[in-house]
Structure 1
Amino acid sequence: MCTKAVSVNVRTLSEKLQVPVAVPQTTGRTTGMENREDGDVLPTDLSPVITHHRPREIQYMRWGLVPATTVDLASVPAMFNARAETLTELRSFRDLIMTHRCLILNRGFYEHEKQVDERVTWKIRPVGEEFFYKAGLWTTWRGAGGQLIESFTMITCDPLDTAMSRVHHRMPIILNKAERRLWMNPNATKEQLLALLKPCAAEMYTIEEHSRKLLKEPKAPKKLKRDNDNLLF
């Protein structure tokens, strides 16, 4: 569920938005720095975001939220996505919507669907814009030894009766220009922000088949042992 995205060329992104790229504060695999297109962004990779604290700068953060209160990194569950429906109930997320919002930037994402005996991978790309701007939450974790991890989670919602619902039961919150301005507004109210957490218009994306693979490869037929004494030809 929303755990593989298409990276952006961060140099192109920086030029388009006319903002600098900050040196990553967190160690990890960085995507989008190479001069190539369509690289994959996976959980625990570093990916470009813009926070409402520093809206004039692109930052690299780790995909997979590490709560600031974490004591043992090894015990942290996977927090790659946060459900919009329970955002204000869970301790890890409930305070971040007012204090630590971000836009997650990429050129698309993948979803998987099971069709009878096949696994179909769909690629979802933006329409009308070069990038998706997805709603996210971020935080900073500091270890006792001085280790620092800046990380984020992607907010998802029920796609309801949209084109995405035929592909997957969850989708990221994709914001249009007016919505992302509100999401980044430090004076926005909680009610205004929560109202943004809904499926985007179907006109904002396109869905195309990326790959198709059998779930279980057919077994090779057994070779018949020939009895040379009983050949008919």
Structure 2
Amino acid sequence: MCGRFSLQTPVPDLAELFEADPSRLDEWVARYNVAPTDEVIALRRGTGGRELVSLRWGLIPNWAEDRASLPPMINARAESLETRRAFRDLVIDRRCAVLADGFYEWRKEGGLKQPYFIRRRDRRPMALAGLWDVWRGPDGTIPSCTIVTTDANGLLEPLHGRMPVILEGEGAQVWLDLDVSERTMDPLLPFDAEALEAFAVSRRVNRVATDDAACAEPRSAPIREPSGWRERPPVGDAPADQLGFF
């Protein structure tokens, strides 16, 4: 799954890299601990081409009676997109990519859950496959999104059985195309394990309110192959109860 991520890359750089219009995007500051219900930057294709927009992370289906009637859908399994009511219509014309520099996963080590940060080895921002929708209520509209997940690759399987779908190249073009085709679902596969790396970070990231550069600072050498995982002592943080972690 994907429950936390970071995005520090400046908007002008994102706009250039993804060849997208940022004019509809709200002001964005570097984020090191993006959590569900936060605003995120998404890439989608509009009638005038690719655009960057701000969406709430945690899909609220347009047919929901009220915002609280369903829990926020932060992830959507690739295998269920075409059958689950909340997603099947969105696959047709509301596909997007949530932008991130990397994401966090946790691994139990020495009786504690140790967070790890996963990023591309080339340090390029990630385009995570997503779906978006707009919920309309008495107080206005809320555009929201979910991140699509698939089976974890060999590098990340020791952390979690699922991982976000990372798009690039032709796969990104197919997913973001305005039209739906027999190829639309093809990009929803595990990303190349050899293109990723993971490293331990501070347990400060456990707290949603903590959002600074220290959240993503390496506390271990990068792990770049499955054999790199092993039991290790907890990273040198203060005990969780002293920091109010959960």
TM-score (norm 1): 0.80
Correspondence for 2:206: none
CA distance in 2, matches of 1:149, 1:210: 33
> Structure 2 matches for 1:5-154, cutoff 5 A?
5-8=5-8, 9-23=10-24, 33-34=28-29, 36=30, 39-53=32-46, 55-128=49-122, 130-145=124-139, 147-154=140-147
Q: 1:214 to 1:194 in 2, by over 3 A?
A: farther
Q: Secondary structure at the match of 1:92?
A: helix
Correspondence for 1:176: 168
CA distance in 2, matches of 1:17, 1:155: 19
Of residues 141, 144, 152, the one that matches 1:159 is 152
Q: Secondary structure at the match of 2:177?
A: coil
Correspondence for 1:223: none
8 A contact 1:10–1:48 mirrored in 2? no
8 A contact 1:24–1:59 mirrored in 2? yes
C-alpha RMSD of the superposition: 2.3
**Structure 2, unpaired ranges of 5+:** 203-234
* Structure 1 outlier segments of 4+, above 4 Å: 213-218
8 A contact 2:102–2:125 mirrored in 1? yes
CA distance in 2, matches of 1:14, 1:126: 19
Correspondence for 2:230: none
Q: 1:18 to 1:193 in 2, by over 3 A?
A: closer
CA distance in 2, matches of 1:88, 1:103: 18
How many residues are aligned here?
Answer: 207
Cα offset for 1:177? 1.2
Cα offset for 1:20? 3.3
8 A contact 2:20–2:43 mirrored in 1? no
Q: 1:19 to 1:89 in 2, by over 3 A?
A: closer
Q: Deviations over 1:168-222 (max 9, x none)?
A: 1110000121110111122341x3122221101112321111134698769xxxx
Aligned AA (1:179) = G
8 A contact 1:158–1:171 mirrored in 2? yes
Q: Secondary structure at the match of 1:69?
A: coil
CA distance in 2, matches of 1:178, 1:119: 37
Verify: 1:2 aligned to 2:2, yes or no: yes
**Structure 1, unpaired ranges of 5+:** 219-233
Q: 1:119 to 1:18 in 2, by over 3 A?
A: same
CA distance in 2, matches of 1:6, 1:136: 16
CA distance in 2, matches of 1:52, 1:11: 18
8 A contact 1:117–1:216 mirrored in 2? no
Deviates more, 1:95-104 or 1:197-206: 197-206
8 A contact 2:93–2:180 mirrored in 1? no
Q: 1:129 to 1:115 in 2, by over 3 A?
A: closer
CA distance in 1, matches of 2:152, 2:184: 18
Q: Deviations over 1:27-51 (max 9, x none)?
A: xxx7xx22x4x52211111111111
Cα offset for 1:73? 1.0
CA distance in 2, matches of 1:19, 1:194: 23
CA distance in 2, matches of 1:203, 1:99: 32
